[in-house]
Structure formats: structure tokens, C-alpha cells
Amino acid sequence: MTAAPLDLTDPAVVADPYPAFARARAQAPVQWHEGLGLWLAFTHAESNAVLRDRRLGRIWQDKAPAERFESFNLIHRNAILEMEPPAHTRLRRLISSAFARGHVERLRPWVEELARTLVDELVERSGGSEPVDLLAGMAEQLPVAVIAELLGVPEADRPLLRPWSNAIVKMYEYGRTTETEDSAERAADEFVAYLRDLAAERRKDLGEDLVSHLVSMRDADGDKLTEDELVTTCILLLNAGHEATVNVSGNGTLALLRHPDQLQRLREDRALLPTAIEEFMRYDSPLQLFERTATEDVEIGGVTVERGQKIAALLGAANRDPAVFDAPDTFDVGRTDNGHITFGAGIHFCIGAPLARVELQASFGALLDRTTTFELGGEPVRRPEFVIRGLETLPVVLG
């Protein structure tokens, strides 16, 4: 097909891509996008195949010129997300062994207490009448604090993390400016230097945090992470982990407030909270696009992706596919048959998914438990990017 199936320059598409996804899905499951120079998979089956087919890999290529993007390239060249077996297998084994030391369950009570504290502060500021920004007051604070606690970042340094992450992830968008790229490289450079210093401190004085375990972890063969792998793993946990959680919190809250009948269902039946969290992730996905590269010719959705060509799974489109989801455009906190692929699939399934679910259940549980008034306090402002889908502000009234 010669016409672009998706116009990312259209503000209406960036604001709400789902009607465009539906129109494109009705034309063909996989289509070529000349402007992006890749294939796009619009259906659940084809997106799932893109994520699982071992002939489609994450093949990292350094951004050029190399001297301009030295730190940005370093934190991707050594990232598990950008690797294929056997390198991926080795690195995931080491990281999973460190995670297996009970970090998620260790943090659960701390996360729940922090969520309650943040909600109480918002309620006090709002007083049932004044709008407060849920993103700044809770959605952004909680996941950053959790990742920082997981890694053992001192409290005084935690305000550095969100700006670094926010600058780096803007490199994943299309149509970047030179200023955006320079900002991402500066953030990557500062983040790498900070984590090298933190790892050096942990080698001298090991604790119970994840950095200490990553520093000391060796497998049965005596293998361990290199320093570059350790630094990259910590940055990936922050960037991927907190960005997704922040945006699920914002997108999910907005969906809930625009569907007051579903909010009332949750208030009346708290047992629905786990299914509601999954519906938040399906209904308005925090990550919309995930690229892979063909290592050989691969047929997907009736087209041949030639060796070296890229194909992207459109996760938001897949999660609204009527072939898989009954009434896919309906927001249903009780949806049980929910095979969304927001966390990915196959060997690159998100390693931080259990932690994200703990954070989301804690934050939404606190909002339900500690408020009687919970409604929109103004018009939200959406981020102008397509790939990372989220809000900049979300005014709410809490009482």
C-alpha cells in the first residue's frame, strides 16, 4: 500500500491514535510506512508474532556519529532489551538471579505506605475543592521512589533520576530535534557517571539493595555482570520501569475518571482492582511501538519482511483488536479475558512487570481507600509524543 497507514504528524493521531489504528487494521494486518521506513503490525496476532519470532531480533546499531552519542550508545549496547541469545540469555539469567532475592516482596509494604502518604498529602492540598496535579503529586513520585529504593539510591540524589530518564526516552521518538538529542546524551552521560560511583561505593560496603546484589552476583559458572552491564541494567530499570508505571497511572486514572460508572464499580468491589490494573494497561498503552529487525526473510501477516528491514509491533493497536477483545473500545474494569501485550511477549517480556503491578495496585488502592471525592479538576495535558504515551498534567479534585 502506498498511502501512509498512520500519520504521526497529525496532532489528532498523537492525541488519540485508536481510530486511526482501527481504520488501518481494517485495510491489512501489516503495512509499510514509507516515512518511518518500516513495516507496522496493527493486529494482536501479527504484533504477538513480531515479539516472539526469533528471526526478528533487537539488533542495536550505535547512533552516529559515535563520538556525539558515546554514553547513549553505551547504555543501549549493553542493555538486555537490545540483545538476542546467547548474550540475552546470559544477562537475563544474572539479572533474574538478583531479582529472585525477594526484592519485590521486600518492597511491597514500603510501597503501600508511600502510596497512602502521597494520597493523604494530595487530599489535604485539594480539600475536596481545589484541583491538584495527580502526576506531579503521586504518579511521578511513587515509581521513581520505588526504583530508587530498589537500587539503594540515597534520598538526596533521587530528584536527579526522573529528569535524566525523561530526557533519555525522548530519543525513542520520531522527528527528534538536535536539542532533544543533545539533552539525551548529556543525561545519559551524567547518569552513567553517577551509577559508576554508586557501584564503586557498594563494592566497598554491600547492602540489601539491588545494586549490591548485582555487584556481587555470580552464577554457577562464576560469570558476573561487567560494570557497563550493571550500569546499563540500572538505567533500563529506571527508564523502562518508571516511565511505564507513570504513564499507566496517568492514562488509567484519566480513563477511570471519564468512566464514573467504572470508578463506582471499583469502589463497591475492591476485588476488581487486579483486573482493573490490567484493563488500564490494555485500554491506553503506555508504550505504543516496539521495533524489531529481520535477521532473515520472514513472512508476517501476508507480507515478507526482508532481511535487514524493520517491523514494529503497535502495542496499542494490538490491545484494541476486536479479533481478540470483546468490545475493545469499551473500558471495563472487570474484564477477565485480557490478553494484552503491554509488557511485551517472548524472551523480552518485561522483567519488572511484577514490581509495576505492585506499584499500580498500591497507588490505585490508596486512591480508593483514602478518598470519598475523586473527579477531574480540569482538562489534562497530554504529552506530544507518540511512542511513549502519557500525560504531562492531570488535575484532580480529591476529598
| 26 contacts 35 by C-beta, under 8 angstroms | no
Three cell numbers written together for 41: 503490525
Q: Check residue 164 and give its pLDDT.
A: 93
Handedness of CA 116, 168, 202, 221 (dihedral sign): positive
In this prediction, residue 30 carries a pLDDT of 97
Q: Note the pLDDT of residue 33.
A: 94
The whole-number pLDDT of residue 29 equals 97
SS3 205: coil
Inter-helix orientation angle 178-204/161-169, to 10° = 140
- The pTM assigned to this predicted structure is 0.90
Q: CA dist 346 to 47, 158, 262, 317, Å?
A: 12, 32, 32, 18
Contacts of residue 91, defined as CB under 8 A and 6 or more positions apart, other chains included, come to: 80, 83, 225, 229, 233
Distance CA 305, CA 30 (A): 10
- Integer angstrom CA distances of residue 150 from 158, 185, 189, 336, 380: 12, 25, 22, 31, 31
Domains in the chain: ranges and CATH: 11-398 (1.10.630.10)
pLDDT of residue 3: 62
pLDDT along the chain (399 residues), means of 10: 76 94 96 94 98 92 93 91 88 78 83 96 96 95 90 91 90 89 96 94 89 78 84 85 88 97 96 97 96 96 96 97 98 96 91 89 96 95 93 96
Query: What pLDDT is attached to residue 214?
Result: 85
Chain centroid to CA 119: 23
Given this model, what pLDDT does residue 1 score? 47
Q: What is the pLDDT of residue 59?
A: 83
SS (HEC) of 329-354: CCCCCCCCCCCCCCCCCHHHCCCCHH
Handedness of CA 228, 64, 92, 191 (dihedral sign): positive
pLDDT value of position 362: 96
Dihedral angle, C-alpha 60, 63, 64, 68, nearest 10 °: -140
